Amino acid sequence: MAKTIRPTEPLAVDHSHVAEIAAEEAGTQDFEVALVSLNQWQLAWRRYRRHRLAVIGSGFLLAMIAVAIFGTILWPYNPNDIPGVTTPGGDPPTLNPIENLFGTDFGGRSVLQMVIVGARISVAVGLFTMLIATTIGVTIGALAGYAGGRLDGALMRFVDLMLAIPFLFVILVAARFFGGGDPVTLIVIFGLLFWAGLSRLVRALYLSLREAEFVEAAKAVGVSDMRITFRHILPNALGPIVVSATLIMAGAIVTEAFVSFLNFGIRATDVSWGNALSNSKGYLLQGNWWWPFFPGMALALTVIAVNFIGDGLRDALDPRSKE
């Protein structure tokens, strides 16, 4: 987010601030200055904390992950538990009891509970897609960027191809033909399709980093190429990679919801936010707003949280790419 950050170089410590702390610690003398040096990660954490929206976002995402893990344990979900409804599309939200806080669906099931159960799919799809896609993207990008030459050419032509084909088209076709409503298959499909942009970025990073002096130094002392690629260059390229991994996560969560919304994703009997939206669509014209509203809100807030985290990480890990 747009706010002034001081250009903080590693070890360039804000002296006035440190002096204050030191003065507090040392009692009253303000000339006794103890320098506190911070390493890269502490500096990054300091920059991250300053991004208020990112901190709120991380809190929200952690809460969502907790809901996904513990939600159904604390409040078991039984799809056959149908209490019955009084209005055609379900009952509007009431404050008492908690079950009906978000209203009910056409079967009288609690929408609040559906939001809680649906969090499992969204969080899992987001996290695991990010994991798979980032692994593939980093490996291919690193390979292309570090090796160069013909391998680079071949891999990048393949990436061009992946990026030329409209992404949503392939996702929908693959989910329809191979998905079968299984979350794991869906995650694999997403993972295999989300990496192309990232690999291009990683390649660009490696192209510039492999000319750096520390790589030359590592080569001179006989470090193997494998080790240079992953132990020496990768940590230096981590900032942009982490940022774009969060974008992949946000993208995967939205795409899962959309694919499920079109009934090509998670099977209709399972609960996901996209499914809830899909089921509620037909009742919208009867004024049944709460059923699509709350799962959609959960989805929107999670994605916004992830995007804010990404922005905070960009400030923290990759300050040069700010503008």
- Count of residues interacting with another protein (CB under 8 A): 45
CB 111 within 8 A of CB 276: yes
Least Cα distance to 256 among 164, 129, 71, 135 occurs for 129
User: Toward another protein, which CB reaches closer, 52 or 227?
Assistant: 52
**Residue 60 touches another protein, criterion: CB under 8 A:** no
**Residue 52 touches another protein, criterion: CB under 8 A:** no
The distance of closest approach from Cβ of residue 269 to another protein in the complex, given in angstroms and rounded to an integer, is 19
Q: What is the H or E stretch that residue 46 is in?
A: helix 40-50
User: Toward another protein, which CB reaches closer, 2 or 220?
Assistant: 2
**Residue 164 touches another protein, criterion: CB under 8 A:** yes
Q: Structure tokens of 119?
A: 């969090």
* Cα angle for residues 275, 276, 279 (degrees, 5° grid): 85
The distance of closest approach from Cβ of residue 271 to another protein in the complex, given in angstroms and rounded to an integer, is 16
On the CB side of 205, CA atoms within 13 Å amount to 29
d(CA 235, CA 309): 20
User: Toward another protein, which CB reaches closer, 146 or 258?
Assistant: 258
Distance of alpha carbon 185 from the chain centroid: 19
d(CA 163, CA 151): 18
**Would you give the binding string for another protein spanning residues 279-308, x where CB under 8 A is met?**
--x--xx-x-x--xx--x--xx--xx-xxx
**Residue 168 touches another protein, criterion: CB under 8 A:** yes
**Residue 206 touches another protein, criterion: CB under 8 A:** no
CB 180 within 8 A of CB 117: no
- Chain positions contacting another protein, by CB under 8 A: 1-4, 157-158, 160-161, 164-166, 168-170, 172-174, 176-178, 250, 254, 257-258, 261-262, 264, 277, 281, 284-285, 287, 289, 292-293, 296, 299-300, 303-304, 306-308, 311, 323
